[in-house]
Amino acid sequence: MKLFVSIFGLAALAVFPSFLFSEECSDGACDTARVNAILEANGRLGVPLSSVITGSATGRITKLNFQACSLSVLPNDIGALSELKELYVINGTLSALPDTICRLSKLEVLQAYNNRLTQLPDLSALSNLTTLSVATNRLTSLCEFSPLQTRLSILRASSNKITALPSSIGNLTGLIELNLGSDSLSVLPDEMANCTKLKYLYVNNNKLTTLPAWITTLAGLRYLYSGVNRLTALPDLTLLDSLVIVSVNNNQLTQLWNFTPRQTLLTNLIANNNRLTDLPVSVANLKGLYNLNLGYNNLTALPDEIGRCANMQYLSVNNNQLLELPLVISSLSKLSSLNCQYNQLTVLPDLSGLTALTTVVVNNNRLTRLWTFSPSQVKLSVIRAGYNPIAELPANIDCFTALTELNLAYDSLLSLPEELGHCLNLKYLTVNNNRLTSLPASLSHCTQFVSLTCSYNQIPVLPEWRDMDNLTTLLVNNNRLTALPEFGPGQVKLATLRAGYNFITALPASISHLTGLVELNLASDSLSLLPEGIGNFVNLKYLTISNNKLTALPDTLRNLKKLITLALQYNQIPSLPDLSGLDSLTVATVYANKLTALWDFGAGQKKLYYLNASNNRLVSLPPSIGRLTALTNLFFQTNRLGDLPIEITALPLLNAPYFNVTYNQIYCVDSLNGNCNLSDSVRRWLDVKQPNWRTGQVYVGIGRGPLVHYKFDETVGTIVHDSSGNKFDGTLSGAVFLHSDSVSGGSVSLNGGSNYVRVSTKKMNELSAVSVALWFKSNSPRQNGTLFYMADTTASLNGNNFSISHYFGSFVAEQSKISVAQSRDSLLFRTWASPVITDNGWHHLVVTCAGPACSVKVFMDGIESTDYSGHNMFAHPMGLLKNTEIVNCVTLGFTPKPPSAYWDGKFDEFILWGRSLSSEEVLRLYHAYVPETDAAEKRDNHGLPTVFALHQNQPNPFNPATAIRYDIPYRSHAVNRYSTTLTVYNMNGQRLATLVDEMKGPGRYSTQWNGRDAKGRSLASGVYAYVLQSGSFIAQKKMIFVK
């Protein structure tokens, strides 16, 4: 027989089932062949039969256990195993059981849980069945039951989709355990009243609104699980003296039943997450109660009778409205765990006599102190008392020799006792968000530490921790640290180190020992360099070193092969190491640095989906950007890109606002005639991805882009190259190029006596408006000198000219002013703007003149002057606007018009437009050279910001919360309070939350956002925008919320 099966295999079995598997074939060999066929049908012939089959003395199979076989099909021939008593077909993918199972008249146990069954065959003929387990399938109903099935004592059908029970379930008069948890039942049939032997009833996680009255007749009921339903009331359970566990949690109950003196067997009463307002005083009758859970209800008080529950070990009354705990709590001598967090307790009863205590959870109350600790409480291992106004911790805390966890976060602690360091078993210490100015030096003795959290305090120095080899989490951010202690060679388990928002200037070389580090956050410190040892962090996944003073990165950064997110923004980094081998990288934020190039992207960097390199000095993108096949978010705005590589068009980038290349130097006037730096395919692609990509481009055509742009990046000679593409090259008259002192690349130096810069004499088109932008530096802020001069003749006094000059004290005593003057037909019109500069540093000046009467605006360092005098509106149209006139004289640092006034100082990044720039364009132009963080650091004598600034949120990406900082400036002779709003939007422009909406004076501010909308609902992971509007200032940034 075995040979026959081996030769013909499964195909033969399908052809000759009536011969081989007829019921007349009823010996042990036939049984074995049938089992082999089942295994072969499921591709499991390699499974040893000994692990599946249990036989009788006659050789017939009495037990089959397919637990290790993961069956997907059970053939009909299973019905021929007439001696079978136990069948286990669990943990498979069966969608049905064959009808022939009903022939197994001797079957006692049928277990088919954890499959994909959608219905059951007729099992009513199986009168010997004692156990039926079909849990965790896809059943919507059960089969019918027969009056003959009185031996069935265990029925388990939980975790299905059963909506109703057959009335024939009442035939199961021998039923002892019924498990229907996590189904979809809305009612229990009355016929179940016949199941009088029930001891264990599980109907939790259904849709029941009531429990039937017949439950009160189940005298032997021991376990009643009906939690997570919709019950509003319970039947009278006073007659159920055998109850041991009652679980009615997560319903809508307003009261429990009256407990009787006969219910002494009740040990577990679980009624959390209901609407209970009181606990019956009859709780005193529950002498055997050791676990009482009443959390998440509406209790305002507990009865004193609870003190008679002498066997109570676990008491949970958290998340109620309790104002106090009864004093009798102190008599519960066996109490091991007390949880009363999230109430309104102001004082605790005396717990010093509760020597069995192991856990006390009292956080989120109104406690000002804890109880008096007792040396006899040697079992206490966990204290959680955070989010209270506790100002002091008892000094004898060292009596808790078993203490492993102490959480005092968000309290009002000013110090911790030195005795805390004697708790040598302490593993978890959480004291963040207090007022600590130090940590006990004795903590260095707690070498069992696993987690130490002391962030958001005022700690300047930390204790030594080099011997804490079990440390995995170290959170010391937002303190006043200037350095970190040395690390030990055994601290290879440390996975998370957050030390940002301190004043750390350097990292210890011993940080290289932390080879197990997964997350390192050093944001907003004062680091100027990173040690080469950072390359030892071969397990690092999250690196955040934004908002520091880094001017370089170690080449060993390339060793961080597991790095997922890299945040380097707001530093002064001019170049990046080779990061092409970081194939796990998904998010890279390197914006607001001084980068002139990115790394050459690697062929394996297929996971990088978010790249932000905006606000740098990038002049080109590597063609290898085409390798970033997962890239959906890309930001390059405010750089110096002149074109884009064709490879970028193959990226799966999302459209704006997930892609931005505005405010660069892309020249594209007329693509048909070749006046465009972009290829046609790139231009068409840009038009789809970001239709407004031309916004802020320096070269988008005459009338929009500049007429002249001098970068002064040359090294020798007298020719000044015009980067605008309009070929208005200039010449130096005695001036020299410099590279040691400049805003970007190079500058030009003038001596104030004989040298200047002359713009090309090539004729310019007639001008309807003028904008002049110039970085200047004065060798003497008290000088009188010409910055810019434009005329339609060379030097005629009667000619039409336009000039910008710097005066000190000439017209207004001891004041520095900018003069914008126009001469027309021998008439002089002048506008004064004040004050200007008081130092010898670089400053950015923009003067715009627009409108028929040439309305003048003066901007210094991105901010418009608020103090004008003279003739702000010229009496005549600008002298350069006659239809027949052309400009033929433009100079920097000198005016040929007598008396000549040379400039003594330096110039950089001179740009001339034939239009008037908006205030937003002026500010963006300023920040193209000075990142917003640098601008915000400029302070006047008041120590306050002098410019508006919206900073990047930290951390970013974030979970669960992030901090958003912004600056409101101080300005002399100006309004210093502004209507200010800070609002969060999704990428569809929908407003989600308003974080700030009030008048704000000068200062640096910070607010937090927790990823929730205005209604407190948690939002999905994704990119969100936050917008600051203060007065006329508007700025927007993006942040990433990751769950």
Write the pLDDT tens digit of every residue in 606-662.
Answer: 999 999 999 998 988 999 999 999 999 999 998 888 889 999 998 888 887 889 998
| Dist CA 692 CA 673 (whole Å) | 22
pLDDT interval class at 793 (50, 70, 90): low
Whether residue 889 is found in the same domain as residue 832: yes
- In this structure, the answer to whether residues 594 and 742 fall within a common structural domain is no
In this structure, the answer to whether residues 849 and 790 fall within a common structural domain is yes
**Mean pLDDT confidence for 250-275:** 97
From 616, 631, 646, give the residue that closes a domain: 631
How many helices and strands, by DSSP H and E, does the chain display?
6, 54
The number of distinct structural domains making up the chain is 3
* Window from 153-157, 490-494, 576-580, 789-793 with minimum mean pLDDT: 789-793
Residue of 7 and 731 predicted with greater confidence? 731
Q: What is the CATH number of the domain that holds 864?
A: 2.60.120.200
Alpha-carbon Rg for the chain in angstroms: 40
Is residue 121 over pLDDT 90?
Answer: yes
| Count of all residues that appear for the chain in the document | 1043
At how many degrees (to 10) do helices 28-41 and 2-15 cross?
60
Does some domain include residue 7?
no
Looking at residue 870, its pLDDT comes to 59
Question: Is residue 572 in a domain?
Answer: yes
289 within domain boundaries:
no
The answer to whether residues 1001 and 968 touch, using CB atoms and an 8 Å cutoff, is: yes
- Residue 340: its pLDDT value, please? 97
Residue (of 333, 320, 282) closest to 304 by Cα position:
282
- Domain stop point among 631, 652, 682: 631
- Same-domain status, 900 and 986: no
Q: What is the pLDDT of residue 824?
A: 63
Structural element, H or E, at residue 730: strand 730-733
Q: Which domain holds residue 575?
A: 518-631
Q: How many Cα atoms sit within 13 Å of 495 on the Cβ side? A: 6
What band does 899 get if pLDDT is binned at 50, 70 and 90? low
Would 5 be classed as within a structural domain? Answer: no
Residues paired with residue 1033 on neighbouring β-strands, in sequence order:
1030
The answer to whether residue 765 is domain-embedded is yes
Residue 591 neighbours by CB under 8 Å, 6+ apart: 569, 570, 612, 613, 614, 615, 616, 635, 952
Return the pLDDT at 223: 98
For the residues of 495-556, what is the DSSP string, one character each?
-EEE--SS------GGGGG-TT--EEE-TTS--S---GGGGG-TT--EEE--SS--S---GG
Whether residues 842 and 729 share a domain: the answer is yes
Average pLDDT along the chain: 85
684-701: pLDDT as tens digits: 898 888 888 877 665 433
Same domain, yes or no: 900 and 813: yes
Helix, strand, coil fractions of the chain, as percent rounded to 5: 15, 25, 60
Q: What is the pTM of this model?
A: 0.68
**pLDDT single digits (tens) 329-373:** 999 999 999 999 999 999 999 999 999 999 999 999 999 999 999
Residue 967 belongs to domain with CATH number: 2.60.40.1930
Place of tokens 């036939």: 30
Token pair 């690092």 is at which residue?
A: 540
Calculated CA dihedral for residues 997, 998, 1000, 1004, nearest 10 degrees: -40
Q: How far apart are CA 322 and CA 627, in angstroms?
A: 61
Do 864 and 787 fall within a single domain? yes
- DSSP secondary structure letter of residue 900: P
Exposed, middle or buried by CB within 10 Å (0-12, 13-18, 19+), for 888?
middle
87 assigned to some structural domain: no
- Banded pLDDT at 711 (limits 50, 70, 90): confident
Q: Are residues 724 and 835 in the same domain?
A: yes
Pair (577, 622) in one structural domain: yes
Residue that is written with structure tokens 């350095």 in the block: 483
Tens-place pLDDT, residues 174-199: 999 999 999 999 999 999 999 999 99
CATH of the domain at 539: 3.80.10.10
Is the bond into 877 cis (omega within 30 degrees of 0)? Answer: no
Q: Are 211 and 233 in contact (CB under 8 A)?
A: no
Tens digit of each residue's pLDDT (9 = 90 or more) over 489-527: 999 999 999 999 999 999 999 999 999 999 999 999 999
878 and 960 share one domain: no
At residue 872, the pLDDT reads 41
Residue 762's pLDDT is 57
Q: Is 36 helix (H, G, I), strand (E, B) or coil?
A: helix
Q: Is residue 224 part of a domain?
A: no
Please tell me whether residues 899 and 843 are part of one structural domain.
Answer: yes
Is the same domain home to 743 and 881?
Answer: yes
Whether pLDDT at 33 is above 70:
yes
pLDDT tens for 995-1039 read: 998 878 777 788 889 898 888 888 888 889 898 888 767 788 889
pLDDT of the residue at 669: 55
Would residue 53 count as lying in a domain?
no
Domain boundary among 631, 646, 669: 631
Is the pLDDT assigned to residue 883 strictly greater than 70?
no
pLDDT at 45 over 70: no
